[in-house]
A and B are shown apart, each in its own frame.
Chain A
Amino acid sequence: MNEKKAAQVKKLEAEFSELTQQIYTENDIVKKRKLIARRDKVRWKVTAIKNNRRISRETKRELIAYSFIAPNFIGFAVFTLIPIVFAFVLAFTNWDGNNAVTFVGLENFKSLPTDTFFLAALRNTIIYVLGTVPLTMVASLGLAILLNQKVKARGFFRTVAFFPYVASLVAITAVWSMMFHPSKGPVNYLLLTVLKVPQADLPKWFSGTLVLLTLILFSVWKYMGYYMVIYLAGLQGISPELYEAGGLDGANTWQKFRYITWPQLRSTTFFVVVMLTINCFKVYDIAVMLAGGGDGKLSTSATVLVYYIYQNAFNYWKLGYSSSIAMVLFVMVLIITLIQFRYQKKLEA
């Protein structure tokens, strides 16, 4: 045993001196660093063998580091990672949650393009995202700039803007349902009396093509307060010296915004847009609460992907099919987020 060890040590020591030699002769700094790291490893191995340690210092260090991540990672694995991997596998199967799983290959994905309700949900979700993301971004940035000025009762107005985000969804959708009530609501009443819209043409805010507009308006109103706070933080991080310098150079308000505020807020805007896009693709509760009517079911004019995923999974127990829709949603969000990340990198470079 000891002879074997001695031989090993000898071999490693030879490698060590060879590496040392190489380090001296190497001129490229990057390669030199790599060689030094390799030499360190060899040195650790030698000491590990000499001190009879089973686990090398390196592994020990890594284990300690992993143990620090463990509490978070275990939660992530159990509640997020495993279900996601499971859903990915399920997308290629038929399963009702109780009987045996049968693999069907791409069948689930093949039937998607002929499914009227899936197509309606996909179309509505995309329209919703395209409407909500830019509007919310502009509205929250506008509000943040306004409420970053030194105006009276600034705290009050900030609270007012933030309130819809905090308020219970059930309560505020009830209020919206009454505000936009097709025959008794104040909105339509104003249209009727002030704008003289004929009674028969009064918009039905919760059905037909208008329902998506109502959903978008509602979401912008509800979420702009939250993103306003993020923008406020971004605005307060901009050094006042930049504006001072701009002022001295004769920049007007628009130019200050265009050449100072907007570029300085780039990373904030990036964060806001990514979060908004992801959240909007996941829309479900707002649609069901506003457009679900008495039974919480969405017709083709208001159905969204997450609703259809839920319906397939827990009403029809087609867990495979619903997973395949979830995969479509996942891939869409992934692609958009990747594009955003790449764009952000390009801007920073």
Chain B
Amino acid sequence: MKRKLLSLLLAVTVSATMLAGCGAKATQTQDNTAVTEKPTATTAPKAPVEKEEITLKWAIWDKDITPYWVALKEGYETANPNVTIELMDLGSADYMTVLATELSGSASEFDVVTIKDVPGYATLVSKNTLEPLDSYISSAGIDLSQYGGVDNQITVDGSLYELPFRNDFWAIYYNKDIFDAAGVAYPTNDMTFEEYDALARQVADPTYGAQVYGTHYHTWRSAVQLFGVLDGQHSILDGKYDFFKPYYEMVLKQEDDQICRNYADLSAEGLHYSAAFSGGDVAMMNMGSWFISTLIANIKSGEYDASLCGNWGLVKYPHAEGVEVGSTLGTITGLAVTSVSDQKQAAFDFVNWVSGAEGAKVMAETGNFPALMNAEVSGIIAGLEGFPSDAGSKEALSVSNLYLEVPYAENVSAVNDILDTYHKSIMNREITIDEGIAAMNEEVGKVLGK
């Protein structure tokens, strides 16, 4: 009897402390917002007069191997001597998961956080951990059209919770030596998918031992199915994915004819796209613009054999019949202000600087693409030592329409995973293209229907 009583007591205390914990947390966050709203209203006009010392904590990843974090921090500190930016490295592998955990509850100490991808952005917004930036944007007089329409694809119920500072777009990398050896003309900035497919087949050589692949698709679904969204009429949030079909057919046919490596092999060996391209047996590869700085740096350092891949070029994405040339996929990296920060105005000033013209210059100088692209910025990148010297490669840097790989929607994480799953099943040939697309339609329908 006594033992039973004891265990009952224990259970009650446990649940009581738990509930107490929840309650305390909820009230605490409320208190915080109440308190923090006041100082932002008062400090905003005061800040430029007094120049009080401010320390902002900024969540980032891979500080040592990514050149721009420190460059941005130093650039801003030079321009604003009263501000100190503290870099908090969370590592890249699980960055968004770690960040979401850190921002849960009111214990977080970050003022500014980097948003790595849109699914993660959607999560943080729905968890109410980010501050809506609209009032700051309008009072700072920022012209959002400088981001070329990307801001519309991350707007949540009319509000913006991040400003993009980095914007990568997809292009076709090609190996000039392979085309020269095969006596085939280089790809151009204006190719239809039919021309691209024909070119890949022309340059490929299936001879055992001296095999050359006409093209290469990395295992990400973006590399195959998202050719379908370039017409501007479709998006991954449609819920109906029949527009993926022609591209799956093209790629699986290429696999069958050994024009490209097959997916099952790639996924078993975990071949990285950089290893595939730098191996010198891939004529063309579609990949994001982040690969430019990697290629340049690694060829320079000798990590990639320059005799295999040193002579590379860049062209725009192929386009479907009737679609504007230069339409491509993009992926953005943004900065956001946390809702628990007690110096939101100062944090926003930093975000604004990084995603504005000055931050863009710092990004370009480190070989990365800022979200704010203009002629000066693309000039800086095309002028980097190691960037291909032909006019076509430089021309390939100008983008006409940019469609985000993952635009914002409330349930985008789940949609993303469903599309990933069935992409895998189709490419592994566990199911046919039609079955895969039917399953995507059904499962995404369930998520979007909620």
Contact = CB atoms under 8 A, between A and B. Distances in A.
B100 interface: yes
B293 interface: no
A314 B100 contact: yes
B267 A206 contact: yes
B265 A183 contact: yes
Nearest to A95: B22
A37 B17 CA distance: 37
A181 interface: yes
A301 B104 contact: no
Contacts of B420: 295, 297
Given A98-B127, A316-B123, A297 B265 contact: no
B100 A97 contact: yes
Contact of B414 (A177, A180, A206, A316): A316
Interface in A293-349: 293-295, 297-301, 303, 311, 314-317
A85 B421 contact: no
B433 to A, nearest CB: 15
A301 B219 contact: no
B421 A206 contact: no
B394 to A, nearest CB: 31
A110 interface: no
A116 interface: yes
A297 B128 contact: no
A170 to B, nearest CB: 11
A151 to B, nearest CB: 37
A206 B427 CA distance: 12
Contacts of A185: 268
B428 A207 contact: yes
B225 interface: no
Contacts of B22: 101
Q: Which of B11, B269, B272, B422 has the most CB of A within 10 A?
A: B269
A100 interface: yes
A97 B18 contact: no
Contacts of A234: none
B100 A294 contact: no
A181 B129 CA distance: 44
Contact of A301 (B103, B126, B425): B425
A183 B262 contact: yes
B424 A85 contact: no
Contacts of B177: none
Contact of B268 (A116, A177, A300): A177
Interface string B246-273: 0000000000000000101111111010
A81 to B, nearest CB: 7
Nearest to B104: A97
A98 B104 contact: yes
A257 B191 CA distance: 74
A177 B267 CA distance: 9
Range for the number of chain B residues in contact with chain A: 35 or more
A178 interface: yes
Contacts of B26: 100
A40 to B, nearest CB: 16
B14 A182 contact: no
Contacts of B219: 293-295
Interface in A15-51: none
A82 B18 contact: yes
A184 B268 CA distance: 10
A86 interface: yes
Range for the number of chain A residues in contact with chain B: 35 or more
Contacts of B74: none
A206 B264 CA distance: 8
A97 B104 CA distance: 6
A247 interface: no
Q: Which of A82, A181, A301, A317 has the most CB of B within 10 A?
A: A317
Interface string A197-239: 0000000111110000000000000000000000000000000
A295 B268 contact: no
Interface string A91-135: 000001111110000000000001011000000000000000000
A182 B417 contact: no
Contact of A177 (B128, B270, B428, B442): B270
B15 interface: yes
A204 B127 CA distance: 41
A145 to B, nearest CB: 36
Contacts of B119: 315
A89 interface: yes
Nearest to A116: B443
A300 B417 contact: no
A294 B129 contact: no
B18 A180 contact: no
Contact of B428 (A77, A98, A100, A208): A208
Interface in A259-308: 293-295, 297-301, 303
B100 A99 contact: no
Given A295-B420, A315-B97, A98 B105 contact: yes
Nearest to B272: A294
B268 A317 contact: no
Contact of B264 (A97, A178, A207, A303): A207
B136 interface: no
B100 A300 contact: no
B113 to A, nearest CB: 14
B376 interface: no
Contact of A81 (B14, B218, B430): B14
Contact of B128 (A99, A205, A300): A99
B404 to A, nearest CB: 19
A298 B421 CA distance: 7
A68 to B, nearest CB: 16
B43 interface: no
A96 B428 CA distance: 34
Contact of B417 (A77, A114, A205, A297): A297
A300 B425 contact: yes
30 contacts: A77-B14, A89-B15, A89-B18, A96-B127, A98-B29, A98-B127, A98-B129, A99-B127, A117-B421, A117-B443, A177-B268, A181-B269, A182-B262, A182-B265, A183-B262, A183-B265, A184-B269, A206-B428, A293-B268, A293-B270, A293-B424, A294-B266, A294-B267, A297-B417, A297-B421, A299-B424, A299-B428, A311-B417, A315-B119, A317-B126
Interface of A: 77, 81-82, 85-86, 89, 96-101, 114, 116-117, 177-178, 180-185, 204-208, 293-295, 297-301, 303, 311, 314-317
A-B residue pairs, 8 tightest by C-beta: A293-B267, A207-B428, A97-B104, A299-B424, A98-B127, A208-B430, A294-B219, A182-B264
Given A98-B127, A294-B272, A317-B123, 13 more contacts: A82-B17, A85-B18, A97-B101, A98-B129, A117-B421, A177-B270, A182-B262, A182-B264, A206-B267, A293-B424, A298-B421, A314-B97, A315-B413
